Amino acid sequence: MSDVSLKDRFVEYIHALQDEICAGLEQMDGKAVFREDKWDRAEGGGGRTRVIADGSVFEKGGVNISAVHGALPKAMQEAFKVGESHFFACGLSLVIHPRNPFVPTVHANWRYFELYDSAGKKIDSWFGGGADLTPYYVFEEDGRHFHTTLKNAMDPFGTELYPAYKKNCDEYFCNKHRGNEMRGIGGVFYDYLRPVNEDDSERLFAFQQANGNVFLAAYLPIVERRKDISFGAAETEWQEIRRGRYVEFNLVHDRGTLFGLKTNGRTESILMSLPPRARWMYDHHPLQGSREEQMLQYYFPKDWINM
């Protein structure tokens, strides 16, 4: 077993994963490349933000890593139900907004958190993460491919995990203020996976790696199939309306966004997840019988493996 701490190994892993994912996305786009900004957090730690924009395939996206530490803010002390504490948090978070409405938006993150008492003793730690897909027009084979790829990565760690974490995702990435309408077609989501001992820490670290390592295999084949489909103003308008729902979720409900803002995170990196353009139309309803109206049925939980 390595003498290097788990948190240092996880930081090393997300650096390598960021390189791999960015290279795969740049190759798929064929035009745009990622801009990189390295930044420091005054309270401790920093990160490496990479943003892609105005590509032939990807209109905007980011693949960010961070490793930050310091005193846990009062708001988070209340949320975690702890007193004066310190924390360490690291992870990779990505959101990719494609240009073509027939290519889905994708989001993923994999993170690790440690909590320390005022004397510096570690009192808690956990893993969290997942990946989810937000299509504007559904091709059932794409949803089946995305979900099956994630399931296959999880199954070696327990066949009960995918159904449980798929359910978590369906319930989490949901705009409750919109009648429990999901922002996309889900994927997997898990949080507060606490190791019970050192061996369990290794198992959970391997689980995180398995999930991160299949991201490109889950997403890029879908992009390849859909990126050259012709589209017009009507499809772009619908894409922008659904992007509005994406914005609503991220700013109202998303824990990662709220945690970053409450811990004095780098605002530009946090709000990288928002699309370049979105639309809100008062009391909008798609035309009866249209592809857009048919799409609404997919924004609720489905068994994508068996579609």
The low-confidence residues of the chain, meaning pLDDT below 50, are: 1
Nearest to 132 by CA among 145, 146, 144: 146
The span from the CA of 152 to the CA of 210, in Å, is 10
What CATH number corresponds to the domain at position 72? Answer: 3.40.1500.10
Q: In this structure, are residues 253 and 175 in contact, taking their beta carbons and an 8 Å threshold?
A: yes
Give, as one character, the DSSP assignment of residue 17: H
Token representation of residue 127: 């893993």
Number of domains comprising the chain: 1
Report residue 2: phi and psi, to 5°: -70, 145
Residue 295 neighbours by CB under 8 Å, 6+ apart: 136, 137, 138, 238, 286
Give, as one character, the DSSP assignment of residue 304: G
Asked if residue 263 belongs to a domain, the reply is: yes
Asked if residue 114 belongs to a domain, the reply is: yes
Asked if residue 39 belongs to a domain, the reply is: yes
Nearest to 102 by CA among 281, 188, 228: 228
Domain that holds residue 38: 6-306
Burial of 12 (0-12, 13-18, 19+ CB in 10 A): exposed
What single string gives the DSSP state of each residue in 164-194?
HHHHHHHHHSEEGGGTSEESSSEEEEEEEE-
Residue 82 neighbours by CB under 8 Å, 6+ apart: 72, 115, 123
Q: What pLDDT score was predicted for residue 2?
A: 56
Report the predicted TM-score, pTM, of the whole model to 2 decimal places. Answer: 0.93
Report residue 186: phi and psi, to 5°: 75, -160
Asked if residue 103 belongs to a domain, the reply is: yes
Asked if residue 1 belongs to a domain, the reply is: no
Query: Alpha helix (H) ranges present in the chain?
Result: 6-29, 74-80, 140-154, 161-172, 198-213, 215-226, 233-252, 255-262, 267-270, 291-295
Q: What pLDDT score was predicted for residue 145?
A: 98
Q: In this structure, are residues 105 and 98 in contact, taking their beta carbons and an 8 Å threshold?
A: yes
H or E element that contains 70? strand 58-71
Asked if residue 55 belongs to a domain, the reply is: yes
| Residue environment code for 17-46, b if the CB has 16+ CB neighbours within 10 A, otherwise e | bbeebbebbbebbeebebeeeeeebeeebe
| Angle (deg, nearest 10), helices 6-29 and 198-213 | 10
The residues annotated as belonging to the active site are 107
Nearest to 175 by CA among 90, 252, 105, 230: 252
Report how far apart the first and last C-alpha atoms of the chain are (Å, whole number): 42
CA distance readout (Å), 104 to 100, 156, 193: 8, 28, 28
Q: What pLDDT score was predicted for residue 271?
A: 85
Asked if residue 207 belongs to a domain, the reply is: yes
